């Protein structure tokens, strides 16, 4: 290669790098920093993985009355189907409790452990959180690596690893689990750097993740609702809410004996039923690291002095009987979750015995009309205890 060609290539490389730097700088200028929130807007009920992965945004959006609730796809239930969802109950009245829903579909105990450590480092109002644990997390084999990879948050893990309150053994456990779940070692090391190259990789990966979150938060900011702030918080009448919810559930589930929402049953479940009979008869809910992941979540909470309410959700008894996961197998899952909770300082709101109760779920796994009201009552009482 002659000197002219070499100089030309070096010049092109320099120009390309300069253009890339300018593009990144312009992007950072274009998109507000993560901590930017609109005054008087409530973002707690926005269903968003981007929101849930941004420590700075959530911290800015929290109030003194906020209770962080970790969960997954139950937060996606639309109000038009189940008007009793948290955004409708707590988001349209001031009861002295505001929920900050964190998580989306496929976020399970390992993800929530990272999120808890990350948010604890930023500050948690009244040192209380809740987590909704569902049996679907505890299926044999655990969550597959590809699914976990779509929800892994570098920013959450970095903040988790940097939190001095999180015990070293919990950090070691999470690191091991991330590697088992297919997160590459370069990324894991970059979030908890020890070598020069780790710091460099961390700067690059962190900058790209920050930019991605900034972009995503533009949409999140447009979905917030007006913050309801009364001079004196009202006291919720859960009994009246539940009576209305039961009535609504009966009106919306007229096509089946399981108490499931008509459109879901008719359009999604009924056509598939012939192929589903005993289709999961081999499931044991035992061969999974998920119980240890949940235990690690509670270990972190105990070490950090954070009180936890674990909400144990049921599955649809009639449906799971039909597909071959019998009541005894499901009981084994519930029992193990209870054992994990009992070995820590957490409280338990146990709804596992509601598997056969109509209207508690609107589909086969997600809270329905009466289910959400009962869960919301447990969250309210936990948040207000000692207030």
pLDDT tens by residue, 292-302: 999 999 999 99
pLDDT tens string 225-240? 999 999 899 999 999 9
Tell me the mean pLDDT in the region 377-387.
92
Place of tokens 């829903």: 101
Q: Would you state the structure tokens that stand for residue 90, as one six-digit string?
A: 């707590």
Whether 134 shows a pLDDT value over 90: the answer reads yes
| pTM for this entry | 0.92
Q: What is the pLDDT of residue 13?
A: 44
Whether 90 shows a pLDDT value over 70: the answer reads yes
Q: Cα–Cα distances in Å, from 75 out to 47, 63, 283, 293, 333? A: 6, 20, 26, 21, 22
Give a yes or no: residue 6 inside a domain: no
Q: What is the pLDDT of residue 37?
A: 96
Lowest-confidence region among 11-25, 207-221, 264-278 = 11-25
**68 or 14: which carries more pLDDT confidence?**
68
Q: Which domain holds residue 315?
A: 36-182+210-384
Whether 354 shows a pLDDT value over 50: the answer reads yes
Lowest-confidence region among 39-43, 92-96, 119-123, 146-150 = 119-123
Give a yes or no: residue 201 inside a domain: no
Give a yes or no: residue 299 inside a domain: yes
Give a yes or no: residue 321 inside a domain: yes
pLDDT tens string 194-214? 999 999 999 999 999 999 999
Give a yes or no: residue 205 inside a domain: no
Q: Would you state the structure tokens that stand for residue 40, as one six-digit string?
A: 């008087």
Beta pairing partners, 226? 41
When divided into structural domains, the chain yields a total of 1
Give a yes or no: residue 82 inside a domain: yes
User: What's the rounded Cα separation, in Å, for the pair 135 and 193?
Assistant: 35
Q: Residue 109: name the closest of 350, 314, 295 by CA.
A: 295
Give a yes or no: residue 16 inside a domain: no
Whether 19 shows a pLDDT value over 50: the answer reads no
Assess contact for 214 and 51: CB atoms under 8 A.
Answer: no
User: What's the rounded Cα separation, in Å, for the pair 352 and 281?
Assistant: 20
């Amino acid at each position: 290669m002659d000197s002219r060609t070499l100089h030309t290539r070096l010049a092109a490389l320099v120009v390309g790098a300069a253009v890339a730097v300018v593009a990144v700088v312009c992007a950072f200028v274009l998109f507000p920093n993560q901590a930017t929130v609109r005054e008087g807007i409530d973002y707690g009920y926005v269903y968003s993985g981007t929101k849930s992965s941004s420590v700075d945004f959530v911290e800015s959006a929290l109030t003194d009355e906020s209770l962080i609730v970790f969960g997954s796809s139950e937060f996606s239930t639309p109000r038009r189907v189940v008007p009793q969802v948290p955004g409708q109950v707590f988001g349209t009245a001031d009861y002295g409790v505001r929920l900050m829903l964190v998580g989306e579909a496929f976020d399970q105990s390992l993800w929530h452990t990272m999120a808890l450590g990350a948010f604890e480092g930023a500050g948690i109002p009244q040192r209380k959180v809740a987590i909704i644990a569902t049996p679907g997390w505890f299926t044999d084999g655990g969550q597959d690596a590809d699914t976990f990879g779509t929800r892994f948050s570098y920013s959450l893990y970095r903040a988790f690893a940097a939190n001095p309150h999180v015990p070293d053994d919990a950090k070691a456990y999470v690191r091991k689990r991330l590697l088992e779940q297919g997160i590459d070692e370069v990324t894991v090391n970059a979030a908890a750097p020890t070598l020069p190259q780790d710091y460099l990789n961390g700067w690059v990966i962190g900058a790209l993740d920050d930019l991605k979150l900034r972009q995503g938060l533009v949409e999140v900011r447009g979905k917030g609702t007006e913050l309801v702030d009364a001079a004196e918080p009202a006291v919720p009448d859960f009994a009246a809410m539940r009576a209305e919810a039961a009535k609504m559930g009966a009106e919306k589930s007229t096509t089946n004996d399981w108490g499931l929402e008509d459109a879901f049953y008719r359009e999604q479940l009924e056509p598939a039923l012939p192929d589903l009979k005993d289709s999961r008869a081999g499931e044991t809910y035992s061969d999974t690291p998920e119980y240890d992941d949940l235990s690690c979540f509670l270990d972190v909470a105990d070490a950090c002095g954070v009180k936890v309410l674990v909400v144990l959700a049921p599955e649809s008894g009639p449906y799971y009987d039909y597909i071959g996961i019998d009541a005894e197998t499901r009981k084994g899952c519930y029992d193990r979750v209870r054992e994990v909770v009992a070995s820590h300082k957490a409280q338990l709101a146990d709804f596992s015995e509601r598997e056969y109760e109509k209207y508690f779920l609107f589909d086969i796994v997600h809270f329905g009309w009466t289910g959400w009201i009962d869960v919301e009552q447990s969250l309210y009482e936990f948040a207000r205890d000692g207030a």
